[in-house]
Amino acid sequence: MPDYPVSRLRRLRKSEALRSLVRENTVDAGDFIFPLFVVEGKGVKKEIDTMPGIYHFSVDKLGKETADLLRLRIPAVLLFGVVNAKDEWGSGAYHARGVVQQAIRAIKKAAPGLLVITDVCLCEYTSHGHCGVIENGDVDNDKTLPLLSKMALSHAEAGADMVAPSDMMDGRVKAIREALDGNGFNSIPIMAYAAKYASAFYGPFREAAGSAPQFGNRKSYQMDPPNVREALREIEQDIREGADIVMVKPALSYLDVIRRARETFNHPLAAYNVSGEYAMVKAAASRGWIDEKRIVLEILTSIKRAGADIIITYHAKEAATWLAEQG
């Protein structure tokens, strides 16, 4: 490459048409998965205090919301259930008439073109708020696997298009794959939360889902934030067990992990732009400190640039609208 003044890199930045022509990464509504929180009851559409613009929906209120997503060309939702009655085993998670199971059926009827992905974890359903069975004050990995498998199978039976285990138990992808295959659901993909960190960015979600642990924390099963090589081991293990898509969560503070995963593996790669990341942007925008549209699109572009194929984000609807306006 010649040096300045023969080489002038600014030449290709002169106009939007030129910038567009040489743009290396683009974000599209088709990259997004939109999280939905489904609650028990009827007639419920209630904004979540810690996540402005995000709502709790009862099953009967999902029709318009899912139709809007299709109109915006957002291809998929990720369902989280919020229940009133909880027990030590999280039995509401795998009940055939559970809130998520009902929501799956309702969405497939109201918006059959929408991909329905379900979060597979017990934390929203257990009285103690942890992601599995408690033995001697800690989550028992192997006793939790059958319950996660049962939950995933109940989602598939209700019509889910994909299941997404987020619990971070060792061996759960294999257990779920075997349960699905053994019951005739070998075409249902698994999107594994493969590198899920014990992050401080989950606070607003835990309030929205009612899933905060009642004692201790999740550091014994979610990943330690300083580690990158361990994330690659987690991802490799999930791939070997049968994951079809792997995920890094959170996104913004872990762009380096997304990049390493992209360089190491050929699997489709998702990144979760989590609740704390969303809430910080909303809070700053509400004070007039930032240009929300520009910030959001820049954040989403950074996640895509790092190597993510799929972005799970609470900004999906607004971002899809802005992108459509840009043409």
pLDDT in tens, 175-231: 999 999 999 999 999 999 999 999 999 988 877 766 677 766 777 889 999 999 999
Neighbours of 26 (CB within 10 A): 11
Catalytic residue of the set 249, 282, 304, 317: 249
Confidence bin at 22 (pLDDT 50/70/90): very high
Name which of 94-98, 188-192, 228-232, 270-274 the model is least confident about: 94-98
* Mean pLDDT, residues 30-40: 97
Residue 234 belongs to some domain of the structure:
yes
pTM, two decimal places: 0.95
Q: What is residue 327's predicted lDDT score, i.e. its pLDDT?
A: 66
Token look-up 């607004």 returns 318
**Residue predicted with more confidence, 283 or 205:** 283
Q: Which CATH number do you get for residue 95?
A: 3.20.20.70
Q: What is residue 128's predicted lDDT score, i.e. its pLDDT?
A: 84
Neighbours of 50 (CB within 10 A): 18
Q: Is 14 a catalytic residue?
A: no
Catalytic residue of the set 174, 196, 304, 317: 196
Are the beta carbons of 280 and 50 closer than 8 angstroms? no
Say whether 51 sits in a helix, a strand or coil.
strand
- What are the CA-CA distances from residue 161 to residues 12, 69, 115, 235, 267 (Å)? 43, 16, 6, 22, 18
Percent of the chain with pLDDT over 70: 98
Whether residue 129 has pLDDT greater than 80: no
Residue 15 belongs to some domain of the structure:
no
Q: What is residue 208's predicted lDDT score, i.e. its pLDDT?
A: 74
Highest mean pLDDT among 1-10, 134-143, 183-192, 207-216: 183-192
Residue 283 belongs to some domain of the structure:
yes
Residue 6 belongs to some domain of the structure:
no
- What are the CA-CA distances from residue 27 to residues 68, 165, 191, 265, 267 (Å)? 19, 26, 21, 21, 19
Count of domains forming the chain:
1
Residue 30 belongs to some domain of the structure:
yes
* Mean pLDDT, residues 152-161: 98
CA atoms within 13 A on the CB side of 75: 9
Residue 19 belongs to some domain of the structure:
no
Whether residue 7 has pLDDT greater than 90: yes
Residue 18 belongs to some domain of the structure:
no
Residue 270 belongs to some domain of the structure:
yes
Whether residue 273 has pLDDT greater than 90: yes
In the DSSP assignment, the letter for residue 250 is S
**Range of the structural domain that residue 108 is part of:** 26-326
Which tokens sit at 70?
Answer: 């299709």
What is the pLDDT of the chain when averaged over all its residues? 94
Q: Is 109 a catalytic residue?
A: no
